[in-house]
Amino acid sequence: MDELQVARNLINEIDDKMAKLFEERMQAVEKVIAYKMEHGLAIFDESREKEVIDKNMQKVSNIYQEYYVKFLKEMMDISKQYQQQIMEENKNG
């Protein structure tokens, strides 16, 4: 197996783990949604997002931080979209 295939296999293994973690994260988001709906809270919490970014960007090497912050923001945007969808479905359902 050449180096490229070895690297791709490693990426595939990591992607498998990330898919499972993504599902776990979205299940946790469902609990956040339930809490926010019960307490009438807004979906967007700027201070929480800043806290998540500030805390987590320190967990990666400096050369990756810029990209990791983009990754975190995209992940939080997906979370907000999901929250919005679930909240709207519960209003209409």
Task: Give how far Cα 73 sits from Cα of 13, 15, 53, 92, 93, Å.
Answer: 24, 19, 8, 28, 30
Instruction: Give the ranges where the chain is alpha helix by DSSP (H).
Output: 3-39, 46-57, 62-92
pLDDT digits (tens, 9 = 90+) for 42-79: 999 999 999 999 999 999 999 999 999 999 999 999 99
Q: What is the pTM of this model?
A: 0.88
3-state class (DSSP) for residue 36: helix
Q: Which pLDDT value is given to residue 93? A: 67
* CATH architecture, domain 3-92: Up-down Bundle (1.20)
What are the boundaries of each domain within the chain? 3-92
Which among 5, 76, 6, 86 is positioned nearest to 47, based on CA atoms? 76
